[in-house]
Each structure stands twice: as C-alpha cells, then as structure tokens.
Amino acid sequence: MLEERRLDVLRAIVEDFVLSNEPVGSKALAERHQLGVSPATVRNDMSALEEEGYITQPHTSAGRIPTDKGYRLFVDRLSGVKPLSRAERRAIQSFLEGAIDLDDVVRRSVRLLAQLTRQVAVVQYPSLSCSSVRHIEIVTITPARLLFVMITDTGRVEQRVVEVPAPVDDLIVGELRGVLNAALNGRRLVDAPEAVADLSDAARPDLRPHLNTLIAVVMEALVDKPEERVALAGTANLTLSALDFADTLRPLLEALEEQVVLLKLIGEVRDLDTVTVRIGQENSMDALRSTSVVATGYGRGASALGGLGVVGPRRMDYPGAMAAVRAVAKYVGDLLGAD
C-alpha cells in the first residue's frame, strides 16, 4: 500500500517530467494525477524517494526530477510497452512496403524510426557474418588487379579490389569464379573459412597462388573484419533536446558520425526478442553518458541479422520508444528475413 503509492508517485514524476521538462512539484502532482492523497503526503513520499536515490532536486525549493536510477526503475517495473496507435502501425506498413532493395529498406526504416520517436535513429545493415553467399563474381580490372564482388541473401553487395601475384587471363578468372562459387554459394559467411580451407589443395596447381590470394583477401575482408555499416537519421531532432544536452551536444554529434561508435553501440544491444534500454551512465561510451539508448536486434530465427534503435535524452518517452523500436525491428526482420 505504502510502497505501492510511492511507486505511483515515481511514475507520475517521470511521466510529467518527460512531458514538461520541468522539475515537478508535489502540488502539481497531486492535482494532475489521481493519487487520492494530499500534496503533503506526496511530499513525504518524494522525500523517501529522494532518500533512496530515485529522484533529486536541481536546487532547494525546486521540484524533483528523476535520476538515472529512477528512470531505470520506471522502465523495469512501472511502464508497460505502450501499444502503437493504429495510425502509427499503418505508417510503418506503408512506409516500408514500398522498399525495393536493401538500401531502401534500411534508409526507410531509419527515417521511419526517427519520425516515430522524434529521436535520433540508428539502423545497422544486416551483418555479413549472418548472411549467406548468393553469388560471387570476379571481374578483371587490369591483368593483375581483380574486383571481387559478393552478393548475399540479404541483398548486400560487397566488393574488394584484389592484387594477384601474377597476371591472369579471362580463362583463369572464369575458373576462379567457378571454384569459389562452387565452394561458397549458399553457405553462411561464418562457415566460409571451413568451406574454403582445403580448396586450394584440391585445385589445379596453376590456380593455387591466385586462389590463395583471393581466399586470404576474402577471409580478411569479409570474416575477420567485415565491413559493417549503419544508417542514421533524425539528428535534427537533437535540436529539440538541445536544452537537455548543452555542452555535451558537440561530442554527441561527433560520436554519432563515427560508424565505429555506432557499431559498438548496436553490437552491445542487438538481442532479438529483448528491447534493451541503456540510461545515461549505463552507457559504455563517454559521449553517450548523457543520453539514453533504446535498441534491439532484428532478424529471423536464432541470431540477429543486425540491430536498430534510437538515441535521445534521458528524459525520453521510454514506453513509446520501446514500442516503436520493437515494431520497426519486427517489420525489418520480416522484410529482410523473407527476401
């Protein structure tokens, strides 16, 4: 009963503060929410909540604002995932179903997510390592330089320039292409090392050096340090939160421009089935310490193809963001999984 109401008060504080961005006081709280008690009682509860570290006051005689710990409790125990409105569901569907290729899917979804949440949105391209090879192509640029092109089942096209040890003619290129396709087509990239392990030994002697070079390059580029990519949208929304960031805005923007940073971020939170929320100091990267991140993985089956999420001020509509992230992840997963 007592405990119960204290949590109600915390919830009310979070909800009001997210809306107004102003410290919320006891009187306003008691009025705006049906707590059934007087402001004085609310004050006692607030006092207790502050004692426990869930809320704080910017200065004496101001209202209270939630701490990171307060938001955490709110997210964990006090809020459901707000269901999306019908209009929002429709928007998602109509926005994504027109997509024609992978690039288009990713770009549309990242913009959609930014629009739905009014935050900065991040969508990772499907990881190569989770994809399968659909086709491999080798094109001659000069006799000693080949362009290696790989098309995956998610529609990604990866390319690398390869310098071969000795000049090759079109005949050899054709053979190389055949060997590689035979070995890799339909294979998942994580299985690639195994699939090509003794390829060279089994091949015609004159192909071996080229094959070795190609395999080495391919392994290095696509498995050891695969090129992961992300799309970003909605940085304009940061101006809405300019007050929340102040000094930290510039480092934040710089971080968001770094693919590396975003990949690390997404990499940490791309569980399927779970929407991860990182609040303020919970983030591992300095530049994000003043933000909250709501993210999840997308894909079909056991392992995530990629991740997506939003970055915004700690003062965020968590239920709404979580719902949007989850919904978009589901659609994107279906689209890319089924393709």
| Residues binding DNA (CB under 7 A) | 1-2, 5, 23-28, 36-41, 43-44, 46-47, 50, 57, 59-64
Q: How far is the CB of 211 from a copy of itself (least distance, A)?
A: 20
Which of a copy of itself, DNA, none does residue 23 bind to, with CB < 5 to 8 Å depending on kind? Answer: DNA
Instruction: Choose, by CB under 8 A, the member of 47, 239, 281, 284 that binds a copy of itself.
Output: 239
Q: How far is the CB of 254 from a copy of itself (least distance, A)?
A: 4
Which of a copy of itself, DNA, none does residue 40 bind to, with CB < 5 to 8 Å depending on kind? Answer: DNA
Q: How far is the CB of 261 from a copy of itself (least distance, A)?
A: 12
Q: Pairing mode, if any, of strands 120-124 and 133-142? A: unpaired
Residues in the chain: 339
Q: How far is the CB of 8 from DNA (least distance, A)?
A: 11
Distance (Å, rounded) from C-alpha 331 to C-alpha 329? Answer: 6
Q: How far is the CB of 18 from a copy of itself (least distance, A)?
A: 20
Of 157, 164, 172, 160, residue with least CA distance to 142: 164
What DSSP state is assigned to residue 223?
A: I
Residues 90-129 within binding reach of a copy of itself (CB under 8 A)? 100-101
Which of a copy of itself, DNA, none does residue 135 bind to, with CB < 5 to 8 Å depending on kind? Answer: a copy of itself
Residues 250-269 within binding reach of a copy of itself (CB under 8 A)? 250, 253-254, 257
Residue 233 binds a copy of itself, judged by CB under 8 A: yes
Distance (Å, rounded) from C-alpha 78 to C-alpha 5? Answer: 12
Residue 217 binds a copy of itself, judged by CB under 8 A: no
Which of DNA, a copy of itself, none does residue 219 bind to, with CB < 5 to 8 Å depending on kind? Answer: none
Instruction: Choose, by CB under 8 A, the member of 7, 48, 91, 151 that binds a copy of itself.
Output: 151
Which of DNA, a copy of itself, none does residue 185 bind to, with CB < 5 to 8 Å depending on kind? Answer: none
Binding segment for a copy of itself (CB under 8 A), chosen from 18-26, 57-65, 152-160, 266-274, is: 152-160
Q: How far is the CB of 11 from DNA (least distance, A)?
A: 16
DSSP calls for 56-114? E-SSTTS-BEE-HHHHHHIIIII--PPPPPHHHHHHHHHHHHT--SHHHHHHHHHHHHH
Which of a copy of itself, DNA, none does residue 333 bind to, with CB < 5 to 8 Å depending on kind? Answer: none
Taking residues 269 to 288 in sequence order and writing x for each that binds a copy of itself by CB under 8 A, - otherwise, the string is --------------------
Which of DNA, a copy of itself, none does residue 159 bind to, with CB < 5 to 8 Å depending on kind? Answer: a copy of itself
Task: Report helix angle 102-117 to 86-97, nearest 10.
Answer: 160
Residue 157 binds a copy of itself, judged by CB under 8 A: yes
**Per-residue buried b or exposed e for 90-122, using 16+ beta carbons within 10 Å of the residue's own CB:** eebeebbeebeebeebbebbbbbbbbbbbbbbb
Task: Pick the closer one to DNA by CB: 50 or 282.
Answer: 50
CB 283 within 8 A of CB 293: yes
Longest dimension (CA), the chain: 89
CB 127 within 8 A of CB 263: no
What DSSP state is assigned to residue 240?
A: G
Alpha helices in the chain (DSSP H): 2-20, 26-32, 39-51, 68-73, 86-97, 102-117, 170-184, 192-196, 199-202, 208-218, 242-245, 249-257, 259-269, 318-338
The first and second tokens of residue 199, run together, are: 């390829």
Residue 33 binds a copy of itself, judged by CB under 8 A: no
- How far CA 61 is from CA of 180, 285, 334, in Å, comes to 72, 34, 52
Which of DNA, a copy of itself, none does residue 187 bind to, with CB < 5 to 8 Å depending on kind? Answer: none
Q: How far is the CB of 247 from DNA (least distance, A)?
A: 17
